[in-house]
A and B are shown apart, each in its own frame.
Chain A
């Protein structure tokens, strides 16, 4: 099309391209090298991380064996060393699960609201605000939670729940004081909502108008349109967005350290929503600086390796689920 539009003749064009070819030969190669270099860099970094973590955690695996994964003791006192990662694996998974349960529905809701429910201009303003929130450093959320938010949670959510159900339902059993897995999960949710929302919005925006209009044409209400036209075709993208959020929640460190209560050993396995706990990254942050001996240091690096494996596992699962969902969706369309 562009050939027809332009006023230059064919021969002139050939000449121009020919001239440019000589110069752009270097540009092409340079670009190719740059891109290959960049991707090699990523691979190299992952390999180096894996190597450093594995090498650093050899002493602890030699000492503890499988007990390092399944053990619940965490004792760095000289002469009584014993290290088990299980409580922190559980703490990481529980706090991230709470965050996901809260964050995903809210984020998808905000994304649908921005793209479908309100005028475009207002939507632009709102998405700008959401993106602004995504740029807030997590330590800000953490300090705000420590000094302000945890009192609201304690007084308006945890205490009523504990007083009404605490005696009957074990997950509300412990007397709450606002520094626990529940608060950590909620604040993590607040932290990842902007990210999930921003990506979800782009996903929903990409759905062709014709689909939505078709739904309306069949007499669908707005909710029915969302249910039949938007959600099915954006499922994969929304899942990708959620896993992006999950990745951040699992690795988050300082925010969690400030509000999860940092219990240790057996006490870090949450028995109720209002239990103190500890995540893999928070115990590393807590103890790495003052690790008392080489075995302690190796145990903390071992926790890093466990975190790395969990992250990789979740990402692989995400790819698997997404490919399955998108396949079933394309089957449906056929």
Chain B
């Protein structure tokens, strides 16, 4: 009896061992490199497409990306548990210092759209920044308010209360939107400010782009903000917004690119702090005023992360270089705004400055 039992245990353990063996063989294979990243949820569909497409470019590098949110991405990057981080908002001075002055690499662009639900109105609404701020401050409360009517003289606006919808979860989208409102409305800047989650004085909070979209679509006479990609795919109605030059611009990939190109000359180098970088309320006649970069975070000296080796560092930087150049072709079909050449140039320069143990990684 006893013998039989011990044989059985031996058999089971051998079986278990045999299952483990291939794993060891795999990791012993020197050719394969696994690059781990974590961060913002907004660029996840794009990064995931890159992950798949990059297999064709470099079959030896496999990319993992966990979309856990910008905050989590910064945290894991700072704790050096991932090889690169991703965040929708640039690092604040304290975050920048804590993370050991990493470089910011803008990898794609997001736009925020004011979507609304007005069953009777078919022509696109026109809005200005200060009016949007007052709607979300709860000061403009009805749709036929003279300030909205003034902007839309040809539209018959209903005498209904405005329901404003905002993101209840901490979000880069909220950061961009409140950044814009703080620039165009002094009162917003004083009372609410800029942040990934702010103290909304009124309105409906809903989690995620989907939540806000569902709230708007389900509540007549509501208005809220969602990502451009989300508005384009769900077919919601959205407003044209007045830019610095006084033109009413509808959100689109082209009008966002115009804004980024207009703001590009003011951008810092990748290794400098980016916390003051913002491309909302950009100048230029065709610029859509509410958009922002989403960033990848890398160490300037890649050996700062002890789990990094030279081979991995090379693969990582090559991947990022591919993503900000050739990888941009996958942006538009997914509803993302591709980087204009001026930003790609800045990124190239940043990537060239990266080193491993003091030696530059990109030599060409």
Contact = CB atoms under 8 A, between A and B. Distances in A.
Contacts of B193: 75, 77, 79-80
A283 to B, nearest CB: 8
Interface residues of B, number: 35
A151 B171 CA distance: 27
B232 to A, nearest CB: 21
A177 B219 contact: yes
A131 interface: no
Contacts of A73: 199
B205 A261 contact: yes
A178 interface: yes
A263 B197 contact: no
Interface string B66-107: 001111100000000000000000001010000000000000
A263 B170 contact: no
B195 interface: yes
Interface string A247-272: 00000000001100111110100000
Contacts of A276: 203-205
Given A177-B163, A267-B202, A289 B169 contact: yes
A150 interface: yes
Contacts of B262: none
Nearest to A263: B205
Interface string B206-228: 11000100110011001000000
A179 interface: yes
B163 to A, nearest CB: 6
Contacts of B161: 175
Contacts of A79: 193
Contacts of A5: none
B44 interface: no
B194 interface: yes
A64 to B, nearest CB: 15
Interface residue tally on A, bucketed by range? 35 or more
Given A80-B193, A150-B218, A290-B70, A75 B168 contact: no
A265 B214 contact: no
Nearest to A147: B214
A84 B68 CA distance: 26
A133 interface: no
Contact of B196 (A147, A265, A290): A290
Contacts of B198: 75-77
Contact of A287 (B72, B169, B202): B169
A319 interface: no
A179 B72 CA distance: 29
A262 B219 CA distance: 16
B72 to A, nearest CB: 6
Interface centre among B71, B199, B215, B222 (most CB of A within 10 A): B199
Interface in A281-324: 282, 285-287, 289-293
A117 B92 CA distance: 66
Interface centre among B70, B214, B218 (most CB of A within 10 A): B218
B69 A289 contact: yes
A18 interface: no
A298 to B, nearest CB: 14
A286 B194 contact: no
Contact of A78 (B168, B169, B195, B211): B195
Interface centre among A73, A151, A289 (most CB of B within 10 A): A289
Nearest to B138: A267
A93 interface: no
Interface in B103-140: none
Contacts of A146: 211, 214, 218
Given A147-B218, A286-B197, 10 more contacts: A74-B199, A77-B192, A177-B163, A261-B204, A263-B202, A264-B200, A287-B197, A289-B69, A291-B170, A292-B71
Contacts of B199: 73-77, 264-265
B306 interface: no
Contacts of B195: 76-78, 292
Contacts of A289: 68-69, 71-72, 169-170
A256 B214 CA distance: 15
A87 to B, nearest CB: 11
Nearest to B221: A177
A261 B200 CA distance: 12
Given A77-B192, A264-B200, A290 B205 contact: no
Given A177-B163, A292-B71, A286 B205 contact: yes
Contacts of B170: 76, 286-287, 289-292
Contacts of B70: 290
B201 A286 contact: no
Interface in B34-90: 68-72
Nearest to A276: B204
Given A146-B214, A289-B169, A290-B196, A177 B204 contact: yes
Contacts of A291: 71, 170
Interface in A162-209: 175, 177-179
